Amino acid sequence: MEQLQLKKVDIIFGWDEKVTPIDVYDKTIKKSADSIILDMIDSGLKGRGGAGFPTGLKWKFTRNEDSDAKYVICNADEGEPGTFKDREILDRVPEKVFTGMAICAYVIGAREGYIYVRGEYNFLLKSLQKKVDLFNQQLAERKSDFTIYLRSGSGAYVCGEESALFESMEGKRGEPRNKPPYPTVSGYNGKPTVINNVETLVYTCEICRMGSEKFKSFGTFDSRGSKVFSVSGDTPTPGIYELELGMPLKDFVEEFADGDAKAVQIGGASGHCVPRKKFNETIIGFEGIPTGGSMMIFNSTRSMYNVLHDYLEFFTEESCGQCTPCRVGCQQLLKGIEAVKKGEKSPTYLEDLKKLTLTMKIAAKCGLGQSVANPFISIVDNFKEEIIY
Amino acid sequence: MTNTENLVHELVEKHGRDRNSLMPILQGLVSQEKFLSEEAMIAIAKELDLSAADVYGTASFYTFLDTVPRGKNIIRICKTISCHMRNKDEIIAVLEDQLKVKVGETTHDKRFTLLTANCLGWCHKGPVMLVNDEVFPEVTPQKAIEIVEEYIKKSN
């Protein structure tokens, strides 16, 4: 397997002053929609929100739908504990996000685009609105009929799930929908919709600027390009970093941890917890452990019981309550580890709880309930004695 | 019409009567009145031709759409893991002591409500405190007290 060393890059925030995002738009829309889609597919860009669906295909499927209205939605409902990259992107290079949206709109034939910003980031809205207005004006000057609007969330983690986000935008409880149909067929207002994460849209802009060949030269065969990582926990250098995908976790720990790391939670609360003994063999990328970007480092002073307890409390509170496996499952897992810790249940009860997470993985309606198994099993398996004693 | 009904009417005029306008209308009310009263939700339901239960169903789903009265200033302390690791408990304790309330309560003078939040997106700069829409990262107990004092001064 192709393996990289950790490499920092500066694509997103490294500005080439000579080329502005609107220049990228002007240059790109001279090409046909089909050729832009081919560039996206060729670049190998996969969604940076965590699920990793190929962006070019998403655009292609939506373009192929016949509909009187289509939408482009930027998912800025970043709510995974440990993730804060989208806020930084929206704050520092929002025009690149708008450009990605406008190019997507050109490709699929959309007239309206929305940026759904999580309620916790309301402080960004005022300055963002000014920049959106300016960008919309630039689009209007180019005779484009595409307009971007801002929408604010109201504090619900599950609204980061694309169909729950549509429900929220439609004035309903943010509960995930049954799939299929997928958003490319029936999204916002039941119309074909491309919904991309903030970072994904920035990379679409960058691919249009630098070309797919150049983008492909970053990362590995399975994990093309770079990505922004949010680093937090026991690290002397918390913050956001743009790194090439496909690096060994060992390199990441050497670069960012405090020398005493015993575990790294990759992909936020819903991701996998990797213990020290597996740092060497773990690859960060689609060929190893994919991540939306959150990297939380825990050193030997931390109780992994407390870490898991925090995650389970989070999921219990943020479960939308619609489907039983998630609503009841999260509560039972939380009560379960508390009971084991207090000695009210035998340690073997953890095995029953693991089976419950596997049921949730199969039976829960959306990614929230499905992914609780990731932290639960990886922490219980690797730090069992800390959960029990 | 009451003040609340007037406000609802203004917001409906601004955002429209479509169901898609419900969230911005609810958000507009919360920013003005700090919570969604029964009167407000019934007024919205009438204006948008929805059942009041439907409006309540949406309103009660979201953390930032309060359906119980809140103080003029809402303080939220992030309680998830990164802030926990950076002693968010100390910040909560010092604020509970300063405001003489527990988490979830509102001060007698209705100036402050103290709440916790599930991740505010500042995991690298915890502990973090959100007052209304204003963010304060890397808060120390001393800094938390000063922030509240500033808000008291502003509202005097």
Please name every residue paired with A152 in a beta bridge, in sequence order, or none if there are none.
A117
The count of CB pairs under 8 A between chains A and B is 115
Q: What is the pLDDT of residue A1?
A: 54
Question: pLDDT tens, A225-270?
Answer: 999 999 999 999 999 999 999 999 999 999 999 999 999 999 999 9
Q: What is the mean pLDDT of residues B83-110?
A: 97
Q: What is the pLDDT of residue A18?
A: 81
Q: What is the mean pLDDT of residues A38-50?
A: 94
Is there a contact between A232 and B123 if contact means CB atoms under 8 Å apart?
yes
Radius of gyration of chain A (CA): 21
Averaged pLDDT score across all residues of chain A: 95
What percent of chain B has a predicted confidence (pLDDT) above 90?
A: 97
Question: pLDDT tens, B5-41?
Answer: 999 999 999 999 999 999 999 999 999 999 999 999 9
Q: What is the pLDDT of residue A9?
A: 93
Is there a contact between A156 and B61 if contact means CB atoms under 8 Å apart?
yes
Q: What is the pTM of this model?
A: 0.96
- How is residue B13 annotated by DSSP? H
Is there a contact between B133 and A123 if contact means CB atoms under 8 Å apart?
yes
Q: What is the pLDDT of residue A2?
A: 56
Is there a contact between A119 and B81 if contact means CB atoms under 8 Å apart?
no
Q: Which helix (H) or strand (E) holds A193?
A: strand A193-197
Is there a contact between B124 and A238 if contact means CB atoms under 8 Å apart?
yes
Residues of A in contact with B81 (CB under 8 A): 81-82, 233, 269, 296, 307, 310-311
CA-closest candidate to residue A112, choices A64, A169, A55: A169
Is there a contact between B81 and A307 if contact means CB atoms under 8 Å apart?
yes
- Angstrom CA distances, B56 to A77, A173, B71, stand at 23, 10, 20
Q: What is the pLDDT of residue B141?
A: 97
Question: pLDDT tens, A146-204?
Answer: 999 999 999 999 999 999 999 999 999 999 999 999 999 999 999 999 999 999 999 99
Examine the pLDDT at B52 and tell me if it is beyond 80.
yes
Residues of B in contact with A87 (CB under 8 A): 121
A82: which residues sit within 8 A by CB, 6+ positions away? A230, A232, A233, A265, A268, A269, A294, A295, A296, B81, B82, B123
Query: Pick from A171, A302, A311: which is nearest to B20 by CB?
Result: A171
Residues of B in contact with A269 (CB under 8 A): 80-81
Examine the pLDDT at A132 and tell me if it is beyond 90.
yes
* SS3 assignment, position A314: helix
Distance from CA of B150 to the nearest CA of A (A): 18
Q: How many CB atoms lie within 10 A of CB A88?
A: 19
Measured CA to CA, the distance from residue A120 to residue B71 in angstroms comes to 18
Query: Pick from B80, B125, B133: which is nearest to A122 by CB?
Result: B133
Is there a contact between A82 and B62 if contact means CB atoms under 8 Å apart?
no
Distance from CA of A298 to the nearest CA of B (A): 9
Is there a contact between A189 and B20 if contact means CB atoms under 8 Å apart?
yes
Distance from CA of A167 to the nearest CA of B (A): 9
Q: What is the pLDDT of residue B75?
A: 98
Query: Pick from A123, A156, A171: which is nearest to B63 by CB?
Result: A156
- Angstrom CA distances, A23 to A26, A104, A209, A389, stand at 5, 15, 9, 60
* ipTM of predicted complex: 0.96
Is there a contact between A173 and B61 if contact means CB atoms under 8 Å apart?
yes
Question: pLDDT tens, B75-93?
Answer: 999 999 999 999 999 999 9
Amino acid sitting at position A293: G
Q: What is the pLDDT of residue A159?
A: 97
Measured CA to CA, the distance from residue A37 to residue A32 in angstroms comes to 9
Query: Pick from B20, B62, B130: which is nearest to A169 by CB?
Result: B20
